[in-house]
Amino acid sequence: MIRVDAPRRLLQPRSVDEAMEMLAEHPDAVIVAGGTLAVPAWRAGPVPETALCLGAIRELAYTAEAGCGALCSLREIAARHPDAAWGSAAASIGGPALRELATVGGNVVAASPGCVAVALLVAEAHGDAFDLRSRRRIHRVPLVELFINRNLLLLSLNWAPGGHTAFAKAAVRAAGGPNIASVAVRRTAARAAVAVGMPGRLPARLPSAEKCWLAGEGPAEVAAQAAAELTLNDDAPDTRHGRAVAATLVRRLIVRCEGRTADVTGGRQRSAT
């Protein structure tokens, strides 16, 4: 028996308006950007009848100082923002070939593991999207809404510039090994931000840890608060390890942001300031 790991019908719009028209005609179409998540899923499970590929919509592939289109590749965001947490997060994902194909929008919407999504959370990021139900554009959609609302088609992202940012992650030491935790922090004179992403939970800010940091507490105290604030399944065998890893990354990144000496290059961790 011959298995076909591709949709029978592939739609390739060249503009957002054309994409909306095609989706109106084919409401069951599966939306694909870079395909780095969708194609492996097709090989492992059901293949959709119709797929709508966004790759030819060049208006969604731009990069800017404080924003990007949803189709901006991980390679492009890493090259444009090498010293920012989101650029470091993008550079930490896969190899060169995957980063060339994978998109920032795909990483944010999938939110699993969502390394770039974690980094953009601390930058107060929001998105512009198309609501597939109401058939209208929506501006300034909170990032957390994009994680859970499958009726929103992400078009672009914008974030707050400035501040000291840093990103790090720990992963299983194996080719393509899963993340244990991804952490990002950002500090300005008036704000402090801490975000964590882990398997089994959506990326989220940790407001209590942020208040602790903003109040002048040290890295160890902020890290302890972050570990306590994580909502995890305490019955899972890896919960204690996951909390410890996340807390260690928080502490190291705060040390980095505050200009102190710290070793944040061990293992598979990556960071930027």
90-134 tens-digit pLDDT: 999 988 998 998 999 989 988 876 899 999 999 999 999 999 888
CA distance 117 to 18: 27
Roughly how many angstroms between the first and final C-alpha of the chain, as a whole number?
53
Taking the domain 58-158, which CATH number applies?
Answer: 3.30.465.10
Greatest C-alpha distance within the chain: 65
pTM assigned to the model: 0.85
Q: So what's the pLDDT on residue 235?
A: 59
Two structure tokens written together for 128: 């512009």
Q: So what's the pLDDT on residue 272?
A: 38
Residue 109 identity: V
Element (H, E) at 20: helix 16-25
Indicate the burial class of 3 (C-beta count within 10 angstroms; 0-12, 13-18, 19 or more): exposed
- Of 37-41, 149-153, 206-210, the range with the lowest mean pLDDT is 37-41
Q: So what's the pLDDT on residue 261?
A: 37
Q: So what's the pLDDT on residue 249?
A: 97
Q: So what's the pLDDT on residue 58?
A: 93
User: What is the pLDDT confidence band of residue 150, given thresholds at 50, 70 and 90?
Assistant: confident
Tell me what the pLDDT averaged over the chain comes to.
86
Chain centre distance of CA 161: 17
Taking the domain 164-257, which CATH number applies?
Answer: 3.30.390.50
- Domain positions in the chain: 9-53, 58-158, 164-257
Shortest CA distance to 107 belongs to which of 28, 193, 203?
Answer: 203
Chain centre distance of CA 83: 17
Q: So what's the pLDDT on residue 271?
A: 38
- Tell me what the mean pLDDT of segment 231-258 comes to: 84
